[in-house]
Amino acid sequence: MRIPCPYCGARDASEFAYLGDATLTRPDPAAPDAADAFHAYVYLRDNPAGAHSEWWYHAGGCRRWVKVARDTTTHAIAGAELAEGAR
């Protein structure tokens, strides 16, 4: 699999470290249900089939975080953007 780093260009996936789901939002630690919210955030994850946004770290290159849009069934990559500009 080749990941298109916006800074370095297309690179082999072996240069990257996978972090995980880029659609999750970290819970508020001051919320009354913080313990339950953090349990769900850390342990209760979906395993989506199809289009998905993921965080990858370009450890073997520019050392930047990249948000990658990838199809988890085919590994086809629809695009990538640097984390600084990601929404």
The enclosing domain of 61 has a CATH number of 3.30.2270.10
Residue 64 lies in a domain: yes
In a domain, 32, yes or no: no
The answer to whether position 62 is within a domain reads yes
Structural domain contains residue 38: no
12 assigned to some structural domain:
yes
Residue-wise pLDDT for 11-28, tens only, equals: 999 999 999 999 999 999
| 20 occurs within a structural domain | yes
Structural domain boundaries, residue 60: 1-24+49-87
Domain assignment present for residue 42? The answer is no
Least confident of 6-10, 43-47, 78-82: 43-47
Q: What is the pTM of this model?
A: 0.85
Residue 36 lies in a domain: no
Predicted confidence (pLDDT) per residue in 22-56, tens digit:
999 999 999 999 999 999 999 998 888 999 999 99
Domain tally, the chain? 1
Are 3 and 43 contacting, i.e. CB atoms less than 8 angstroms apart? no
Checking if the pLDDT of 72 tops 70, the result is yes
